[in-house]
C-alpha cells in the first residue's frame, strides 16, 4: 500500500544539500517519488509501506549530515 511521509530539514544550506538527500532516497527500493525543497526544508516521500518503513528515511537523511524532524 502506498503511503506518504513528510519531514522538515532546517539545516539545508543550499540546493546541493537538498539534491544530496533526494539522490540518496530516490534510488531506494520501495520509494515511488520524493520531493525536496531546500528553501522550506520540506521533504515529502511517497513509498510502498510493504517495502520500507518511514524510520529508514530518517536515518538516510541523518546519514547525509542533516537533522530531519517529523512534519
pLDDT in tens, 16-62: 999 999 999 999 999 999 999 999 999 999 999 999 999 999 999 99
3-state helix, strand, coil in the chain (%, to 5): 30, 35, 35
- Contact between 7 and 71 under an 8 Å Cβ cutoff? The reply is yes
Q: Residue 19: its pLDDT value, please?
A: 95
Q: Residue 23: its pLDDT value, please?
A: 96
**pLDDT at residue 71 is higher than 90:** no
Domain that holds residue 54: 2-70
Cell for 19? 539534491
What DSSP string runs through 30-47?
TEEEEEEETTTTEEEEEE
pTM of this prediction exceeds 0.85: yes
Specify the number of domains making up the chain: 1
Give the CATH number for residue 24.
3.30.70.100
Amino acid at each position: 500500500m502506498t503511503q506518504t511521509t513528510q519531514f522538515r530539514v532546517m539545516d539545508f544550506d543550499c540546493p546541493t544539500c537538498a539534491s544530496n538527500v533526494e539522490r540518496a532516497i530516490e534510488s531506494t527500493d520501495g520509494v515511488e517519488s520524493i520531493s525536496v525543497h531546500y528553501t522550506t526544508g520540506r521533504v515529502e516521500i511517497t513509498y510502498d509501506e510493504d517495502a520500507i518503513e518511514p524510520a529508514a528515511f530518517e536515518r538516510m537523511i541523518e546519514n547525509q549530515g542533516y537533522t530531519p524532524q517529523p512534519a
